[in-house]
Amino acid sequence: MNPESKSHPTEQAEPLVKIENLKKYFPIKGGGYFTGSKKIVKAVDNVTFEIYRGETLGLVGESGCGKSTLGRNILRLQEPTDGRVFFKEENILAYKGHEMRKLRKQMQIIYQDPFSSLNPRFTVGEIIGEMYDIHGIAKGAEKEKKIKEMIELVGLDPSRYHNYPHEFSGGQRQRIGIARALALNPEFVVADEPVSALDVSVQSQILNLLMKLKEELGLTMLFIAHGLNVVRHISDRVGVMYLGKIVELSETDNIFDNPAHPYTAALLSTVPEADPRLKKERIVLKGEVPSPANPPSGCHFRTRCPLATERCAIEEPPLLEVRDKHFAACHYPLEKGQTLKQAISSKEQSQESVTI
């Protein structure tokens, strides 16, 4: 791949993965046995977006908003309730078992928890070696050589080939998880909060490793995080999730400099600024995230939104292009350059004029 095509991935805008109307509902036991009221959690609710070849798409949202479920369903590690997922123009949800297993060489996942995501009874060599065994790619000495190359690539000592996961630190285990995911040189990787479980001191090492490997191997990556600050440096574009839906999606700078959705704006107001002179006003969201089993009508964010009106309770806002390549799901998106504070005060003014 030539370097030009990688440096401006969004301009050439060739989608590698397309997600259309994806839904994942979980039935939960709710109500009494006799009333039989079956509740569902809409963990991912009608999500549509594209991931461009060569880009890193950051996906952020509070814990429980459905990020992991979205990642798992894109890779078909769970069967989606409805919708379609295209990988290279092919709907992989229609693939049969053996077709899907073959395709898995090209799409991989890096997990959040470096403890439960590695088989405690396998050595590092066996964990990575499984990738070659499963797809019959290398055997014997050649396999061992490839495994050692992978161990070295992620910055570990190849002499630890025969060590078990519990003999490593959290950061080192995460490196093993990365080596496992990248062993077959996949094209697409979902990284599900790969640094959230790590000490702050090692988080940046792992992030830098991921960015380096992404460039070297020409990966396309869906990078999931629960805080905006983590995705800023690694992502080309950023998507923001709230209660099972993507509420805003645009290029990273647009999201950080000119957020359109009130939720994104409120999240940003809590991100510490690198430059302390740029004082900003924190906007603390009121209330808790509602239960995904019982989301509010209309706009899911309306119970906490400072801009909410009656319309927001009735009408669900679709994800629309509010500005050039900038999508937001809100009836009253912020103007370019407008802060949430300004929007709130202009709303209050207009309400006063109505009451007069």
Partner 1 sequence: MVSAKPTLTGEIDAKPSQGKTSVLKALRNNKVAYVSFWFLVLIHIAVFLGPVVWRVNPEELQAAGSLAGWSLQHPFGTDDLSRDVFARMLHGGRVTLIVGLAAMLFSLLIGTVVGACAGFFGKVVESILMRITEAMMAIPTFFFILVALTVLGTSPTMVIVVIALAGWMEIARVVYGETLKWKEYEFVEAANASGATPFRILTKYIIPQIVPSIIVAGTLTIAAAILTESAISYLGLGIQAPTATWGNMLQNSQQYIWTAPVLGILPGVAITIVVLAYNFLGDGLRDALDPKFVKK
**According to CB under 8 A, which one of 44, 47, 59, 109 is a site residue for partner 1?**
109
Compute the least distance from the CB of residue 297 to partner 1, in Å.
Answer: 22
**331 binding partner (options Mg ion, ligand SF4, ligand ADP, none; Cβ < 5 to 8 Å by kind):** ligand SF4
Minimum Å distance from CB 259 to ligand SF4? 11
Residue 221: CB atoms within 10 A of its CB come to 23
Interface with ligand ADP (CB under 6 A):
26, 28, 41, 43, 61, 63-69, 292
Among 57, 124, 131, 243, binds partner 1 (CB under 8 A): 131
Length, in residues, of the chain:
356
| Binding to ligand SF4, residues 42-61 (CB under 6 A) | none
Question: What count of other Cβ atoms lies within 10 Å of the Cβ of residue 207?
Answer: 20
Q: What is the 3-state secondary structure (H, E, C) of 50-68?
A: EEECCCEEEEECCCCCCHH
User: 268, 339 in Cβ contact below 8 A?
Assistant: no
Phi-psi region of 287 (alpha: psi -120 to 50; beta: other; left: phi over 0): left
* Strands 82-87 vs 188-192: parallel, antiparallel or unpaired: unpaired
Site for ligand SF4 in 234-293 (CB under 6 A): 262
Q: Nearer to ligand SF4 by C-beta: 197 or 328?
A: 328
Query: Nearer to ligand ADP by C-beta: 65 or 255?
Result: 65
Options 59, 60, 68, 80; binder of Mg ion; rule CB under 5 A: 68
CB closer to partner 1, 237 vs 300: 300
**Residue pair 180/212 in contact by the 8 Å Cβ criterion:** no
What does the DSSP assignment read for 322-342? EETTEEE--SSPPPTT--HHH
**C-beta of residue 149 within 8 angstroms of C-beta of residue 201:** no
Site for partner 1 in 162-181 (CB under 8 A): 164-167, 177, 180
Residues in Cβ contact with 220 at an 8 Å cutoff, skipping those fewer than 6 apart = 16, 17, 51, 52, 53, 54, 55, 56, 187, 188, 189
Is there a contact between 182 and 107 (Cβ–Cβ < 8 Å)?
no
Interface with ligand SF4 by CB under 6 A: which range of 85-93, 222-230, 267-275, 299-307? 299-307
Closest approach of ligand ADP to the CB of residue 73, in Å? 9
Query: CB of residue 136 vs partner 1: minimum separation in angstroms?
Result: 11
Which of 6, 105, 143, 341 touches partner 1 (CB under 8 A)?
105
Helix residue ranges per DSSP H, 48-183: 67-74, 97-103, 124-134, 140-153, 170-182
Please pick, from the candidates 12, 21, 63, 345, the single residue that binds partner 1 as defined by CB under 8 A. Answer: 63
Give the x/- contact pattern for ligand SF4 in 145-174, rule: CB under 6 A: ------------------------------
Choose the binding region for partner 1 from 12-20, 52-60, 128-136, 326-334 (rule: CB under 8 A). Answer: 128-136
CB 24, min distance to partner 1, A: 12
* 206's tokens: 């792992």
Q: Is the dihedral of CA 64, 317, 252, 71 positive or negative?
A: positive
Distance, in Å, from the CA atom of 310 to the CA atom of 296, rounded to the nearest integer, reads 13
Quick check: 331 binds ligand SF4 (CB under 6 A)? yes
Q: Give the one entry of ligand SF4, partner 1, ligand ADP, none that residue 115 binds, where binding means its C-beta sits below a cut-off of 5 to 8 angstroms depending on kind.
A: partner 1
Which spans of this chain sit near Mg ion (rule: CB under 5 A)? 68
Which spans of this chain sit near partner 1 (rule: CB under 8 A)? 63-64, 72, 75, 77, 100-105, 108-109, 111, 113, 115-121, 130-131, 134-135, 164-167, 177, 180
